[in-house]
Structure 1
Amino acid sequence: MSKAIKRILIVDDEEDLCEILQFNLESEGYETEVAYSAEEALQKDLSRFNLLLLDVMMGKMSGFKLIDTVRRELKLDVPVIFLTAKSEENDLLTGFNLGADDYITKPYSLKELIARVKVALKRSVPISENEKAKVLHYEQVVLDLEAKSLMIDDEKVELTLKEFQILCLLFENKNKIFSRDEILERIWGDSVVVTNRTVDVNITRLRKKLKQYGEYLKNRPGLGYYFET
C-alpha cells in the first residue's frame, strides 16, 4: 500500500523564497500550497495540511499570531516550523511556547530544511511504541493516543502537540526519570536546536493544565523529570 502524500503549507510574504521552497519540497514528493500572508493562510482549510512552514514577520499578522490562532481558536495540533531571520533566545522561546515544533533561522540550507521537515512529520504521529495501547489512564487522568487528547475528571484539557508528547513519554514510563537532554532528543529530535529551558517551560504549563494532578510531575534536581505514581 502506498503512503499518503504529505501536504505542506508555506506561509511567507517573499514570493521568490516560496517558489524555491515549493520546488524543492515537491521534488521530495510532498504536495505544497502557498499563502503570502497569515490572513491568506487562515482562509484555507488548515486541517488539510500535515505541516505548516511559517515566516514570523509578515504584514499585519505575524507568524506568532497565526500559530496562536491555529492552536487556541482552531484547536489544531498540526506541526509548525518557523522560518525567520529572528534568532534571539526570547523569540525562540516565544515560538516554542506558542506550540512550534522547530525554528529555523535564515539563511539556511535546503538540505537542512528538508531534514527538519522529515523529522517534524515523523514526530507528528502518535509516539507510543505500544500500538495496542490506545488509551492510557491513571486515576482520573486519561490520555487518548489516537485522538491526542487529555481528559481530567471527564473534562477535556487542551494541550499543544509537544505538551501531549512530553506527557505521553512520562506517563508511559511512570517513575522513570528523563533528563532534559533525553526529553529534547525524544520529542524535538537531534536536528532541532532548542534549549533545556524549553523543556522547563513545557513542564510548567503541563503542571498547570493537569490541575490537582500536576503534583505527579516531579523534578529530581540534577537528574530530570518523571511522572510519579
Structure 2
Amino acid sequence: MSKRILIVEDEKNIVDILSFNLSKEGYDTLEAYDGQAGLKLALEENPDLILLDLMLPKMNGFDVCKAVRAENRSTPIIMLTAREEETDKVLGLELGADDYITKPFSMRELLARVKANIRRIDMISDQPQAPAASAADRLERGRILVDMGLLMAFKDNRALDLTQREYELLKFMAAQPDKVFSREALMEHVWNYEGYVGDVRAVDVAVRRLREKIEDDPANPSFIITRRGLGYLFHEG
C-alpha cells in the first residue's frame, strides 16, 4: 500500500512540484493550502508524513504542529520554511516537528528526508508490542531501563513520557554507554540520515527535551553528558 504524504503549503507552484516528485517516487499525496485545512486532513486522514509550511493563512505551521501533537499523533512532520532565523527552527522542533528544511531546497534532499522518516516509522511498527521476554530485550542501565518489547523507558521503575524520537535517542545511546556520539552520527543512526552533513540543531533540541524528562536536574545532567566539541554520551548516572 502506498504511503501518503500530506502537503500543507499555500504556494500552489510548490505544492505542484512536491506532489509531482513525490508521486514519481510512489507516494500518494494530499494537499491543503491553509493551516486549518491542513490540520483537518492531518487528523482525519492520518497520513504517513506531513510536509508543513510555517507561514500559512488561517493557522500557521507552528500551531498546526502543536495541535497535531496535542492529539498524541506521532506522524513525522517536516517543516518547510523560507526563514533563516534560528529561533523559528528551534521553536518548530520544540513543538514536536521531526525536522525542517529551508527554502529553496533541493528535491533530492527533501525526498531523502521523507524516505528516512517513513523508514524510521516502519521500523518502529515492525517491532513487537509486547513486554520484553528476556534480558536481551531490555537495557538495564542503573536507574534507567529501556524495554524494547514495550517500546518504553523507565526511571526508578516509573514510566517516562517520551516521544518516539526521544525513546529512539535514549535507546541508541544507552545501548553503548559511555561512548561519545557526534551530532552527525546521531543524525545518521537515530534520524536515519545516511552520511549526514548539515545543520544538527535537531539533535541539540532532542537532547534538551530528553534531559528535561530523565534528569534529576536537567541543568546538571548525570545521564546524557555533553563532551564539548565532540558530542554526547549516555552514562548510567
TM-score by length of 2: 0.78
For 1:16, the equivalent position in structure 2 comes to 13
Secondary structure of 2:59's aligned partner? coil
Q: Are positions 1:158 and 2:156 aligned together?
A: no
The correspondence for 1:114, drawn from 95, 99, 111, is 111
1:208 to 2:205 alignment: no
2:222 is paired with a residue of what secondary structure?
helix
Q: Offset at 1:52?
A: 0.6
Aligned twin of 1:62: 60
Please state whether the residue corresponding to 2:114 is helix, strand or coil: helix
Secondary structure, aligned partner of 1:215: coil
Instruction: Give the letter aligned to residue 7 of structure 1.
Output: R
- Matches of residues 63-102 of structure 1 in structure 2 within 5 Å? 63-71=61-69, 73-102=70-99
Question: What 5-or-longer segments of structure 2 have no aligned partner?
Answer: none
Q: Counterpart in 2 of 1:104? A: 101
Residues 125-204 of structure 1 aligned to structure 2 (within 5 Å): 125-126=122-123, 135-139=138-142, 141-145=144-148, 148-153=151-156, 155-188=158-191, 189=193, 190-191=195-196, 193-195=198-200, 197-204=201-208
Worse overlay, 61-70 or 136-145: 136-145
Deviations 1:57-79 (A, max 9, x none): 012321111112222x1112221
Amino acid at match of 2:91: T
| Cα distance, 1:144–1:56 mapped onto 2, change above 3 Å | farther
Shift of 1:154: 5.4
Report the Cα offset of residue 8 of structure 1: 0.9
Q: The residue matched to 2:65 in structure 1 has which SS?
A: helix
The Cα of 1:125 is off from its aligned counterpart by 4.0
**148-157 vs 13-22, greater mean Cα deviation:** 148-157
Q: Which amino acid aligns with 1:50?
A: D
Contact kept? 1:82, 1:103, Cα under 8 Å: yes
Whichever residue aligns with residue 220 of structure 1, its letter is R
Matches within 5 A, 1:44-63: 44=41, 45=43, 48-63=46-61
* Structure 1 contact 47–78 (Cα < 8 Å) conserved: no
What SS does the aligned partner of 2:205 have?
Answer: helix
Equivalent pairs counted in the alignment come to: 222
Task: Indicate conservation of the 8 Å contact 1:116/1:192, yes or no.
Answer: no
In 1, the alpha carbon distance for the partners of 2:32 and 2:93 equals 22
| Distance 1:192-1:157 versus aligned 2 partners, 3 A rule | farther
Structure 1 residues not aligned, in runs of 5+? none
Deviations 1:69-102 (A, max 9, x none): 222x111222111122112222222222223232
CA distance in 2, matches of 1:153, 1:47: 38
Question: Structure 2: how far apart are the matches of 1:210 and 1:47?
Answer: 34
RMSD, aligned CA = 2.9
Distance, in Å, in 2 between the alignment partners of 1:53 and 1:145 is 29
**1:42 paired residue number:** 39
- Preserved CA contact (<8 Å) 2:184 2:196: no
- Counterpart contact for 1:102–1:192, Cα < 8 Å: no
Q: Normalising by structure 1, what TM-score?
A: 0.80
